[in-house]
Amino acid sequence: MEPHTSHPGCRLAAITALKQAELPAGVLVALVIQGFTEHELPAIITAATHTGPQYTGYRVLRLPYTVGPLFEQWLSEHMPTKKAKILKHLQTMHGRQLHNPRFRYRMLGEGIYAEQMAALFAVVRRKSGLRSRSPMLSTAAFRRSLRNATGAAEYPGFYGEG
């Protein structure tokens, strides 16, 4: 559906490469569309499990601002028979709208369809053996750039300058 996005095989290869480099990697299945793509969730996580991720998560579709009308137009052109069902599910998950701006609810939805999706995800995640949260990462090895807006080092001798 999304033009110019990476092919799923390339995404799986990226997880494999991260795993081989001993870097933490996970799978975020997004954006799941209730009534349209949620049935693909088990196959996606199963395929990804074979590449070595440590955790997984999902996000539901939300359509803020001008994105809603664009998606409705896309549905009219490509899936006219499923349009009403898909929009009804989205609105049910987002408080009778296509977007719920409240934190947590905007990404996972609420209501019966969100509960069904969460239950499906929990079963698939448990069967895959993946965690639901990413590991705690440290920023100790990073440091803030000390260059000013012109690109010059702010401290003499920093970056071999001065």
d(CA 156, CA 162): 5
Instruction: Say which DSSP state 23 is in.
Output: -
User: For the chain, how many structural domains are there in total?
Assistant: 1
Q: pLDDT, tens digit, for every residue of 39-98? A: 999 999 999 999 999 999 999 999 998 999 999 999 999 999 999 999 999 999 999 999
pTM: 0.77
d(CA 53, CA 15): 6
- Is 59 a member of any domain? yes
- Is 92 a member of any domain? yes
- Is 156 a member of any domain? no
- Is 157 a member of any domain? no
- Is 149 a member of any domain? no
- Is 143 a member of any domain? no
Domain that holds residue 45: 8-133
Tokens linked to 17: 């490469």
What confidence category does residue 145 fall into, taking pLDDT thresholds of 50, 70 and 90?
low
- What is the SS3 assignment for 53? coil
- Is 147 a member of any domain? no
d(CA 136, CA 21): 18
